[in-house]
């Protein structure tokens, strides 16, 4: 089930993509990431995204340009991992499938609670961004 938390994580990937493509001189790791994120197979891209998030703390593998974005993306991806896990647990406990793989039954009270979860994570995401910008 797609939630606003998925959209929040996507913004981090857009910032990463832009950062990688703005660097004049990229590291071998960054070249590997560009290739991984450019794959034609969406399942391979999803797998590579998880791999990138797992590998993220490898700061010594970043070009100078990406070193500047690294603290922001590291915190965002860490938060995105927690948010995804919380949303998955909430959905498993409160939402039922209606038969088709992409159809779900969700009551208004449950939808409101899920929205609250998403809003909470969006606020944390923005707090990280504001803190990052204040430090610059």
Q: Which residues of 48-60 are buried (b: 16+ CB within 10 A; e: fewer)?
A: bbeebbeebeeee
Number of structural domains in the chain:
1
pLDDT in tens, the chain (136 residues): 788 999 999 999 999 989 888 878 888 888 888 998 888 998 988 888 888 887 776 666 788 878 888 889 999 999 999 999 999 999 989 887 777 666 677 888 998 999 999 999 999 999 999 999 998 7
At 13-52, the pLDDT tens digits run 999 989 888 878 888 888 888 998 888 998 988 888 888 8
Query: What is the residue range of 29's domain?
Result: 4-135
Residue 99, Ramachandran bin (φ over 0: left; ψ between -120 and 50: alpha; else beta): left
């Amino acid at each position: 089930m797609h939630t606003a938390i998925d959209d929040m994580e996507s913004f981090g990937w857009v910032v990463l993509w832009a950062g990688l493509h703005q660097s004049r001189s990229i590291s071998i790791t960054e070249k590997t990431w560009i290739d991984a994120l450019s794959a034609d197979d969406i399942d391979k891209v999803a797998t590579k995204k998880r791999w990138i998030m797992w590998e993220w703390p490898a700061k010594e593998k970043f070009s100078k340009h990406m070193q500047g974005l690294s603290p922001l993306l590291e915190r965002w991806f860490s938060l995105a991992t927690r948010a995804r896990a919380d949303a998955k647990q909430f959905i498993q406990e409160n939402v039922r499938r209606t038969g088709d793989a992409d159809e779900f039954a969700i009551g208004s009270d449950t939808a409101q609670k899920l929205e609250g979860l998403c809003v909470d994570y969006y606020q944390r995401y923005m707090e990280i961004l504001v803190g990052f910008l204040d430090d610059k």
